[in-house]
Amino acid sequence: MSRHSQTSRRSPLLGIYALLVFAFLYSPIVVLILYSFNRDGVGGFPPRQLTFAWYRLLFSDSAIWDSVLNSLLVALGAVALSLTLGLLAALALDRATFPGKSIFRRLVLLPLILPGIITGLSLLMFAVFAGMQLSLATVFLGHGTALLSVATTELFAGLQKIDRAQEEASLDLGATPWQTFWRVTLPNLKLSLIAAGLLIFTLSMDEIAVTFFLIGRDNTLPLEIWARLRRGITPEINAISTLIFAVSVVLILIWYQIRTRTTGKEVQELLERP
Amino acid sequence: MYSRAYKWIVSTPPLLWVAIFLLLPYALMFAHSFWLVRDGMIAREWNLRNYAKLFQNPVYLDVLFRTMRIAAGVTLLSLLLGYPLAYYMSFRAGVRKELLYQLVIVPLWVSYLVRGYAWKTILGSEGVLNGFLQYIHVTKEPVSFFLYSPFAVVLMLTHIYTPFVFLPLYASLEHIPRNLVEASHDLGAGSRATFLRVILPLSLPGLLAGATFAFVLTLGDFLAPLLVGGPSSIMIANIVQSLFGTAYDWPLGAAISVCILVLTISLLFLTERLEKRWSFR
Amino acid sequence: MTQPVSSAEQTAACAGSGNELLEVRNVAKSFGPREVLKHISLEIASGEFLTLLGESGSGKTTLLRLIAGFEQPGSGEIWMSGERLDTLPPYKRRVNTVFQNYALFPHLTVQENVGYGLQVSGVAKSEIPGRVNEALQMVKMREFAVSRPAKLSGGQQQRVALARALVNRPKLLLLDEPLSALDANLRKQMQGELKSLQRELRITFLFVTHDQEEAMALSDRIALLKDGALEQIASPREIYAHPATSYTAEFIGQTNLLRAEVRNGVASCGSLRWSTLQPTGAALFSLRPEAIHLSPDGPVPADAIRFRAVIRQQIFSGSSEHLELELAGQLLRARIPARGAISGEQEFWFSPADAVSVRE
């Protein structure tokens, strides 16, 4: 990248603007975290007394933790389902040709781009049609289906990066396609699977739009928070939000490390002078 | 290299699943839009009355247009925030761009609800913003239009979707070979001319992708109005939600959903064609 | 066998006599801890075809980029036509570049690409189509005027890149290994076209390559760079016949490097002895393979140094035989005109004037 020292007329305005955008993106979160420690609750300025009271309240709130457990169950189930079907779908898209393939591809990607309410309502109608009771099971089916698109996209990209010659070499050396799959293809996809899994897990834990219409008596975490919001704002919600934020950050950073490890070399080369 | 059995095994389960849990549900929604509610029950009588109602009753069209205006506003603001940021990171940030990239995607992953809730606490009459303004003596009384207004909805959704707009845009900008920028300078174009003539045109695919994403998702959003919107900021998805809830008219709700679906798919189709035209490959 | 001095060599001889276009004064450049250019000075005469030749890492591309304006020198100055160049941004320099990967704008047609420099400099709209046409005609790409770069072959893109640079009538044209991505035949053809184009337009060309054959074919002068320093700068014939260092002798063409001891005007290396003007002491000599002749093949001059050697290997290459000779444990490479298989011990000779003394 060229370095215009004495000839540069680059104003610092762009950098300042970028800083302001970052400030915009982060200030609500910073405020949220700050006020979770505020004794006087949410609102007013400046926050007066810092306390852990709200967190203590949170930890004794069993309803919240029940919903966390529900969310975890659904999320883990969704990860398992999406990754399995997604892997098959990615393999199919990468290696098989069949009539209606392009329609299939678009259909799989549809929940990704459509507003959640449409997918949620469609699945609701299906549940009613099939005579299913709304419960965590229906939520699980909804998440699995909606997040299938995420799994397929990530795993398809991962498959593209595999050198086809590796699988050919395996077959050449006497391994069956099944063995080749387990010994060559899958290990190469390890990082993609983990990255996709993390992403699906996070998205499932946060899912509201689809869940809204498929929920039965047991709440997931977002819906439990939503229900409480209808009753009013309490700093306890700030506290749980802060915890969600902290966990999310850790998960994203792990995801990012994994993601760039698969393309790490390219990123390195991009940043170095040619 | 792959046997027919292999191809069958990998294609059948996902195909089956997608057919049952995606195609069928969407088809059901489509079917419902042609049915009716009679005596509190859904009657499977095929008719077009739901669609007629949509076009004849001005309420629905008003709300739809309002929703589209909000979506357009959110998209525009997200671009105004996201594009300069992406440009700065791609062309000016140097080795820091990896760190900055992580900083941008963090808010993206943090719960929608958490971020919406944050705005709710900030914008209220007793909220942090009002408290701050009063503290520094800019205002004497709480400003009420911060919350429960279209302003709040647009603000919250811009906050949500700016990283969404940023991602494909940044990818597009990163893909521009740096020697094109050098070539442009070499031929006599300064930074501004280079941006307008080379960088902007080549970033259009990413820009389009991000903008479409933001627009379409805002169009179907029903949570933001419930969190921070007021009666004057009801969006089309809220109407659908109430029709599936207390207002109990699934067929009408399905009809509106189908309209949203058609709108969305047409938009996606259009932008896909434009993206192909503008990718110059 | 003397050749008349060409006008190009006259131009080369004139360098430094007052018609310099570009002057690089003591320029150094580092990237972090890596010293890429170590205090280089050179001059480029107006209208000459100068090649920067070197391996990758020699600094040739960096020097080019400094002149183009994409990098700033760490120290030193660059002057063009009596004015300071290195303080100007690239878009203010009367210098244009032909990039290694062409860098054509994918979203513009060929004629829009070529006209780009004219448009951004505010040339009159009425004038642009004419000049663009002229440039495309020069590189024989008129019929592709409305095509997009993606539809063109490598060679065609290269011509468009050339036209795009030349249309601006720069004082100096920089070419960054423009032919390296082309296949051998196309390369040779383009070399010829580039050379005649330069002669015709009389624009100063600064050409970068790692291919020494290409450098010799095209240049009025070659500047050989090694590890960021200027090893030698001279015309192709001069640099071939009188390499200054062993590196030059080995990089340009092939050679045998003979380590000899000189005593009283006689150099001895192994079992070879020849007369030399070098002072007494250790010395290094370069003897080109084609300077070694097979005695039975023709008349042997009186002052020739004869020796017998065993032919270890013979490789046929069309018009010549490449021989690997062994004598007294020493290996020599010889190139003689094609004459059929030959083996065993034979007598060879070389002229003492062909053993050129070089620095380390």
- Tens digit of pLDDT for each residue in B232-263? 889 999 999 999 988 888 889 999 999 999 99
Q: Assess C69–A contact: CB distance below 8 Å, yes or no.
A: yes
* Residue B180 covered by a domain: yes
* Alpha carbon distance B59, B75 (integer Å): 24
pLDDT class of A6 with cuts at 50, 70, 90: very low
Tokens 């070659």 -> residue: C222
What CATH number should be reported for the domain holding residue B232? 1.10.3720.10
CB contact under 8 A, B178 and A28: no
Chain C residues with CB-CB distance to A8 below 8 A = 89
pLDDT beyond 60 at A167 = yes
Residues of chain C with pLDDT under 50: 1-8, 10-16
Q: Which of residues 154-193 of C touch B (CB under 8 A)?
A: 164-165, 168
- Give pLDDT, residue A241: 87
Query: Is residue B25 situated within a structural domain?
Result: no
**B31 assigned to some structural domain:** no
- pLDDT, tens digit (0-9, with 9 covering 90-100), for B115-156: 888 898 888 777 778 778 878 888 777 777 788 888 999 999
Residues A253-260: contacts with CB under 8 Å, at least 24 apart? A253/B102, A254/A198, A255/A195, A255/A198, A255/A199, A255/A202, A256/B102, A256/B105, A258/A191, A258/A194, A258/A195, A258/A198, A259/A191, A259/A195, A260/B98
Structure token pair of residue C208: 């970068």
pLDDT given for residue A5 in this prediction: 38
Name the average pLDDT for chain B: 89
Q: Is residue B96 part of a domain?
A: yes
Question: Is B114 an interface residue toward A (CB < 8 Å)?
Answer: yes
> How far apart are the C-alpha atoms of C286 and C246, rounded to whole Å?
7
pLDDT digits (tens, 9 = 90+) for B19-48: 999 999 999 999 988 888 877 777 777 888
One of 2.70.98.40, 1.10.3720.10, 2.60.40.10, 3.40.50.970 is the CATH number of A58-271, namely 1.10.3720.10
Q: Which amino acid is at C174?
A: L
Neighbours of chain B (3+ CB pairs under 8 A): A, C
CB neighbours (10 Å) of residue C162? 25
DSSP β-bridge partners for residue B43? B36
- As for how many domains chain B has, the answer is 1
Q: How far is B220 from chain A (nearest CA, A)?
A: 5
CA distance A224 to A219: 6
Does the distance separating the beta carbons of C168 and B188 come in below 8 Å? Answer: yes
Cβ within 8 Å, pair B14-A88 = yes
CA distance B229 to B247: 20
Residue A60, classified by CB atoms within 10 Å of its CB into exposed (0-12), middle (13-18) or buried (19+), is exposed
The closest of A115, A126, A106, A207 to B260, measured between CA atoms, is A115
ipTM score assigned to the predicted complex: 0.87
- The distance of A97 to chain C (nearest Cα, Å) reads 29
Cross-strand partners of C359: C245
Look at A7 and C87 and tell me if their CB atoms are within 8 Å: yes
C157 and C42 in contact (C-beta within 8 Å)?
A: no
Residue A3 has pLDDT above 60, yes or no: no
Classified as helix, coil or strand, C5 is: coil
| A243-247, B273-277, C4-8, range with the lowest pLDDT | C4-8
C75 vs A: CB within 8 A: no
Is A3–C31 a contact, with Cβ atoms under 8 angstroms apart? no
- B201 chain-C contacts, CB cut-off 8 A: 107
Average pLDDT, chain A: 84
State yes or no: pLDDT of A61 exceeds 60.
Answer: yes
Q: Does residue B84 lie in a domain region?
A: yes
Residue B38 lies in a domain: no
* Residue B23 in domain: no
Domains (ranges, CATH) in chain C?
Answer: 7-249 (3.40.50.300), 254-358 (2.40.50.140)
Are the Cβ atoms of B120 and A229 closer than 8 angstroms?
yes
Q: Write down how long chain C is.
A: 360
- Measured between its terminal Cα atoms, the distance across chain A in Å is 9
Domain of B236 in residue numbering reads as 50-277
CA proximity to A146, closest of A101, A85, A92? A85
